[in-house]
Amino acid sequence: MRLVKLLANLGYGSRKEVQTAIRHGWVTDRDGKALKADSPTAHENILFDDEPLDPAQGVVVLMNKPLGYTCSIKDKGRLVYDLLPDRFRMRKPVLSTIGRLDKETSGALLFTDDGTFLHKVISPKAEVPKVYEVTLDRPMKGDEAALFASGGMMLESEVKPLKPAGLEVLDETHARLILHEGRYHQARRMFAATGNHVTALTRSRIGALGLDGLEEGGWKALSEDEKALIFAAE
């Protein structure tokens, strides 16, 4: 791919703006040599304004989403995209979230510009487990684990029962919930069906991929080994 198209697709500007940057010598190799529009240079050897390029197309990003941010660009207020570099919104293909976390849920959130990878993760056949740390308004009754694991639990206004879900009780108002599907506000609705109310919800793991110290609001591009953890169950 020509340098101008590569940089434009990564969101560094329009083709005209990228051409201007190249003419001014802002695009170099790691030895400091200014590159030209037709310079045959590997992605990892290109610097823009003395900084390495953003990840190439096919990137998968993990974010530790804070509370108060939404995933849909149609929503008003703070968006998860505000926590990424501005140019990420200009990438082609676009960078999309893999599933969503609602405004009042924090934790592990994935993004990618790879449509095939996105659908692989969210496919019902994949059954990628998502692990949530749950805080409840009142003590659990004691039968929640059996109910969630039954495979027969129905949510209000739905006609298909939930897939079996795992529940690890940590104490009377704290639990770890493992889901293998992603219905609308599923964790909250499951506990609501038992007469309880979720007061705090954090997604701590997707497959075997955890946050591993990633600070709140922080993000990182995943390595191939880390991407493979998404499809591995601990």
The model carries a pTM of 0.92
d(CA 62, CA 218): 8
d(CA 158, CA 180): 17
In this structure, the strands spanning 105-112 and 198-206 are parallel
Per-residue burial over 47-68, b = 16 or more CB atoms within 10 Å of its CB, e = otherwise: bbeeeebbbeeebbbbbbbebe
- Superfamily (CATH) of domain 3-52: RNA-binding S4 domain (3.10.290.10)
Domain locations in the chain as residue ranges:
3-52, 60-124+208-229, 130-206
Alpha carbon of 216 to those of 83, 107, 154, 213: distances in Å?
A: 10, 8, 34, 9
Task: Give residue 74's pLDDT.
Answer: 75
Note whether 82 and 53 are within 8 A (CB): no
Fold: same for 3-52 and 130-206: no
Q: What CATH architecture is 130-206?
A: 2-Layer Sandwich (3.30)
CA 102 to chain centre: 12
Task: Give residue 234's pLDDT.
Answer: 61
Residues lower than pLDDT 70 in the chain: 234
Residues that are catalytic: 102
d(CA 120, CA 112): 12
Residue with tokens 């676009």: 94
**Candidates 3.30.70.580, 3.10.20.600, 2.40.50.360, 3.40.1640.10; CATH matching 60-124+208-229:** 3.30.70.580
d(CA 3, CA 86): 20
